[in-house]
Amino acid sequence: MKDCCTPKSGAYDLAVIGAGSAGFSAAITAAEAGARVALIGNGTIGGTCVNVGCVPSKALIRAVESLHHARAASRFDGIEAEARVADWAAPVAQKQALVEELRVAKYADVLPQHENIDYIEGRARFDGGGRLTVNGAAFPATKVVIATGSRPHVPAIPGIETVDALDSTSALEMDELPASMLALGAGYIGVELAQLFARAGVEVTLISRRGVLPEAEPEVSEALEGYLSEEGIRLARVTGYESVTREGDTVRLTTTDGDTFDAERLLLATGRVPNSDGLNLGAAGIETDDHCGIVVDAQMRTANPKVWAAGDVTGRDQFVYMAAYGAKLAARNAVAEEARSYDNATMPWVVFSDPQVAGVGLSEAQALAAGHEVVTSVLPLDAVPRALAARDTRGLIKLVAEAGSKRLLGAQILAPEGADSIQTAAMALKAGLTYEELGDTIMPYLTTVEGLKLAAQTFEKDVAALSCCAG
């Protein structure tokens, strides 16, 4: 780590603000292109994903899956199993050990391998003249990439600051489980955490204004809502939130409908907010949108021609792999003067619920809104041999295609092993395949991905009339 000072040989070619996945991607990409880079971090190195997001949440989700598998073992004749949480602090500690291991291996230990990257601990912002500063001192850099990430959103509900509400960070740090929990928000964070804690033995009420995974296909949202309910999660749809109070050991949420919900803890899972405040962006001529995301063009450039931005701070595609992708483009465009464009047309996304939800491309509603004449195929998982063999037919596969050309436009999968299959659909969309071509593709029998082949055939065939592997 270096002090905040002027490098001996003059200004850095690039200053990267933020030392998370996007920041590291930008810094390494620029360094590999021959640039002298300052990576400016403020706080724990590694950003959201490794420290408080993807890694800790998925580690604990996997832990409680073992509980579910034991409880569901009776679906196989002659099999009995039991499982319980004996010491919740133990998997939490194990999770934290993994976080610290990956933080070192994938972040701290990576920096020394790049001689032309200087890591500088400090708070970066633009001064009144639009010049970059770190810890209040002028910082010389020819160009800048902003990659400061995001943080949990706190909804403006009267009383919210008085009830010690949990967010996606603090919820994963609890070493004792509450008896009950209200989870506010049923997007991907709310769904994942609600199911995680319900499986660990917490009485969970999942409350939302737009239903479960409102951006997913309606068939997927409806089915997943049913599966969550079957696991004992109480689901409530409300029009708004009136107030939240604490009475002793109980948090009470009152809605604008006049309903009240009580629990020991309140979990906020109402989205994330870009970390764009505190940078004094206006002084540098950098614009933000209505949701505080930094506005960038297709080449990741802001309204300031010397400043680019990437990752969650832009407010779009808040996935770690898209942050790294966008940051790589921003860095190359900045230091190599290229004009690479951001393309999320075949961006896969995953919700680590159980069944998992994964998608790519356009939903039916999005395709119609874009002016396409569409046809769809919906295949229940009980038509997929893998699901039958596993005696777990929860889920479905939906494909969207253009009516005339038969070109695939989108896919969504709801299946216990659905996440690992969505990349096949992404590659099909990227290649411009028709559903006929996907249906003719050779796929291994007794795999979840074979369901994509069957769903493609379902556009024009009754798959129930086909023998195994027929196609």
Query: Would you say the pTM of this structure is higher than 0.85?
Result: yes
pLDDT at 467: 73
16 belongs to a structural domain: yes
Q: Kindly state whether residues 308 and 323 are assigned to the same domain.
A: yes
59 belongs to a structural domain: no
Q: Kindly state whether residues 232 and 200 are assigned to the same domain.
A: yes
How many structural domains are present in the chain?
Answer: 3
pLDDT at 469: 65
pLDDT at 8: 53
Q: Kindly state whether residues 244 and 292 are assigned to the same domain.
A: no
Q: Kindly state whether residues 263 and 235 are assigned to the same domain.
A: yes
431 belongs to a structural domain: yes
420 belongs to a structural domain: yes
Q: What's the start-to-end Cα distance of the chain, in Å?
A: 60
- Domain end (from 248, 270, 292): 270
- Domain end (from 221, 252, 270): 270
Give the chain's mean pLDDT: 96
Q: Kindly state whether residues 296 and 192 are assigned to the same domain.
A: no
Residue with tokens 């969970």: 204
Q: Kindly state whether residues 260 and 279 are assigned to the same domain.
A: no
Q: Kindly state whether residues 368 and 225 are assigned to the same domain.
A: no
Domain that holds residue 239: 160-270
57 belongs to a structural domain: no
Between CA 101 and CA 118 the distance in angstroms is: 22
Q: Kindly state whether residues 132 and 171 are assigned to the same domain.
A: no
pLDDT at 9: 61
Q: Kindly state whether residues 130 and 20 are assigned to the same domain.
A: yes
1 belongs to a structural domain: no
CATH value at residue 446:
3.30.390.30
Between CA 238 and CA 205 the distance in angstroms is: 12
Q: Kindly state whether residues 378 and 432 are assigned to the same domain.
A: yes
pLDDT at 333: 98
CATH value at residue 128:
3.50.50.60
- Domain end (from 245, 270, 295): 270
pLDDT at 466: 78
219 belongs to a structural domain: yes
Q: Kindly state whether residues 309 and 242 are assigned to the same domain.
A: no
Q: Kindly state whether residues 279 and 250 are assigned to the same domain.
A: no
**Per-block average pLDDT, block size 10, for the chain (471 residues)?**
55 98 98 98 95 96 97 97 97 98 96 96 97 97 98 97 97 98 98 98 98 98 98 97 96 97 98 97 98 98 98 97 98 97 98 98 98 98 97 98 98 96 98 98 96 97 78 58
230 belongs to a structural domain: yes
pLDDT at 468: 74
